[in-house]
Amino acid sequence: HRITANLYLPAAAGPVPAVVVSSGHSRTAKTADYNQRFALQMVRLGMAALCFDPIGQGERSQVLNDQHGPEHEGTTTEHFLVGVGSILVGRNTATYRLHDAMRAVDYVCSRSEIDPQRIGFTGCSGGGTMTSYVMALDERIACAAPACYISTFRRLIETIGPQDAEQNIFGQVAFGLDHPDYLLLRAPKPTLISSTTQDFFDIDGSWQAFRQAKRTWGILGYPERVDLVEMAGTHGVQPQNLATIGHWFQRWLLQSDKAVAIETFAVRKEQELLCTEQGQVLLLPGEKSVFDLNAAVAAELAQQRQQKFAARTAAQLQQTIRDVLKLRPSDQRQPPVMEDRGRVIRTGYHIDRLVLKTDQGHLIPGLTWHPPVPSDEAYLYLHDAGKTGAGQPGGAIEKLVQAGFAVVSVDLRNQGELQSGSASPLLTDWKTFYLAYLLGDSLVAKRVEDVLNSADFVAYYQKPRQQPRRVHLVAEGQSGIVALHAAALHPELFASVTLKQTPASWTSIVGSSSPAGQLDSTVHGVLRYWDLPDLESLVSGVKRVE
């Protein structure tokens, strides 16, 4: 697992200070013009600089096409895909990004030309995120300048919503780790916030974070060690921002307060700065991708589960599922209340529109498909596209109705009428997923609640509690993962379970470099406790259809 980087050394005799430059989300990463300007600014002032490629960028793409180039145009796409397997094994794209950033610090500290006591760290956008993480966690960072990132989660969520995979740590909003805390974790070391007025990382949040920091640094007796520079402009480092960042490092690493003027820097072409012959480390012998690393962790977790949970009872596994997903026991859940929303007539049957209101006030839109004379048994049908996903004329639901069964189809959380954002076939609705993730929750958990509430309705509608009707559960796609959890928790609710084109296991997904549509079906660290086959062991006669 190699890291490609460019080291810039000044002509001055060493040992000199060094500033590590973490790239934002640019395809060319370390060779991008703005990153070169970061490094050249430091060298011009008499400091060394190291620009390195993050995973998924520059020479470190983790997914290559047949021409040995990056498969995906957008660099954040790779970070999201890496995030799928990372989340399942209890890691995060940030785990690997932060590891690499700290190894970059290791390297500059190992060079004889560099003074390891005078190390700085900076970067813009995604590089500002990494700067925030590293400056908070690595005590070697004497001086830091995160650019175009620091705001507050409140302003982030109120404006653009959650961002790239590594910018969301599981549960951090719930346990209170906000952007200002990255600053406070390093107080009172010198720290500069670099911002622009029209940045999509909200400038009001930047000033709120700065105010918290300024008060804290002042209480500690060092108010001069924290500052903020704001320049007009959109997302990026404006010339005055760069000069101010250079001056900040000069002040605290070189003990010089002389003025730093805005300069123009001649940058080199990308090809001049490549570190590998073919332009990608993944083509080097023995190189492992992050997908490979996650797959190895998943294999270790499978062995640990086998050893640790060999004697686990069904009741113990069910309790573990409730604990991890934060689900209530069934005796604490009241049946939903149905609201009739009208009828649609089709040839040979009719469809009733309905809304189920749960005891927690959540609304589940649904459809009930009625044959003229329904059987006393009924179906609950789940589909990734929601209640109408399998409801086209001649489709799967219509065939069940023609066979004499009533069918209920519903929109699970963030499906159909409950969808809150745009979803892509590759990455799903990642903003909504990561909002739940920041809160220490998952869409899987919320959807399991929806399935159990819907199953209660189907089983007990116009039936006594002692005589529920037999409910057959059918789920297509990723909804099958949710259905399997619901059935494993309450196998008594379902007469049968049929899964169509549902992944056989989470472990098989972890090592995939193209886990299309999987992101919102992940649960953080779930492979420490169970995999999908463990759930099937709790449900008799699961039928799979590919």
- List, as one string, the DSSP characters of 240-264: HHHHHHHHHHHHHHS----------
Query: CA–CA distance from 98 to each of 127, 321, 333 (Å)?
Result: 11, 30, 42
Beta bridge partners of 7: 50
106-153 pLDDT per residue, tens: 999 999 999 999 999 999 999 999 999 999 999 999 999 999 999 999
Q: What does the pLDDT look like over 153-171, one tens digit per residue?
A: 999 999 999 999 999 999 9
Question: How large a percentage of the chain has pLDDT more than 70?
Answer: 100
Q: What percent of the chain has pLDDT over 90?
A: 95
Q: Which of 255, 288, 321 is the last residue of a domain?
A: 288
Q: Are residues 236 and 340 in the same domain?
A: no
Same domain, 315 and 403: yes
Task: Tell me: do 219 and 326 sit in the same domain.
Answer: no
Tell me the chain's radius of gyration from C-alpha atoms: 27
Q: Do 370 and 228 share a structural domain?
A: no
Torsion angle of C-alpha atoms 487, 491, 493, 498, degrees rounded to 10:
50
Residue 303 lies in a domain: no
Read off the pLDDT band of 421 (50, 70, 90). confident
The answer to the question of residue 299 being in a domain is: no
- Of 219, 254, 288, the one marking the end of a domain is 288
Residues 253 and 355 in one domain: no
**Distance in angstroms (rounded) separating the CA atoms of residues 31 and 58:** 8
Residues 422 and 492 in one domain: yes
Same-domain check for residues 346 and 406:
yes
148 vs 54: CA distance, rounded Å: 18
| Rounded average pLDDT over 12-37 | 96
Give yes or no: residues 420 and 524 share one domain: yes
First-to-final CA distance of the chain: 36
The DSSP-derived string for 398-456 is: HHHHHTT-EEEEE--TTSGGG--S--BTTTBSHHHHHHHHHTT--HHHHHHHHHHHHHH
Show which of 288, 323, 356 is a domain's final residue: 288
pLDDT digits (tens, 9 = 90+) for 190-211: 999 999 999 999 999 999 999 9
Longest dimension (CA), the chain: 91
> Could you tell me if 272 and 337 lie in one domain?
no
Does residue 498 fall inside a structural domain?
A: yes
pLDDT of residue 58: 98
Give tens-digit pLDDT for 326-367.
999 988 999 999 999 999 999 999 999 999 999 999 999 999
User: Minimum mean pLDDT among 9-18, 278-287, 376-385, 445-454: which range?
Assistant: 9-18
Q: Is residue 66 part of a domain?
A: yes
Give the per-residue pLDDT at 322: 98
Examine residue 294 and state whether it is found in any structural domain, yes or no: no
CB burial of residue 505 (10 Å; 0-12, 13-18, 19+): middle
233: left (phi over 0), alpha (psi -120 to 50) or beta: left
The token pair that represents 152 in the structure block: 């507050």
Q: Give CA–CA dist 252/120, Å, rounded.
A: 9
Does 263 share its domain with 371?
A: no
CATH classification at residue 194 = 3.40.50.1820
**Residue 485: how many CA atoms within 13 Å on its side-chain side?**
31
Q: What is the pLDDT of residue 227?
A: 99
Query: What residues does 306 pair with on adjacent strands?
Result: none
Do 279 and 318 sit in the same domain of this protein? no
* pLDDT (0 to 100) of residue 361: 96
Give residues with Cβ within 8 angstroms of 182, minimum separation 6. Answer: 132, 133, 135, 136, 146, 150
User: What integer best gives the mean pLDDT of the chain?
Assistant: 97
Task: Please indicate, yes or no, if residue 431 is contained in any of the structural domains.
Answer: yes
pLDDT band at 256 (very low <50, low <70, confident <90, very high): very high
pLDDT at 396 over 90: yes
Domain that holds residue 110: 5-288
Q: Is 203 inside any structural domain?
A: yes
Task: Determine, yes or no, domain membership for 233.
Answer: yes
pLDDT of residue 330: 86
Let me know whether 265 and 324 are in one domain. Answer: no
SS (H, E, C) 124-178: ECHHHHHHHHHHHHCCCEEEEEEECCCCCHHHHHHCCCCCCHHHCCCCHHHHCCC
pLDDT at 464: 86
User: 137 near 98, Cβ under 8 Å?
Assistant: yes
Q: How many domains does the chain have?
A: 2
Cα–Cα distance, 57 to 22 (Å, whole number): 11
- pLDDT, one tens digit per residue, over 451-491 is 999 999 999 998 888 899 999 999 999 999 999 999 999 99
SS3 96: helix
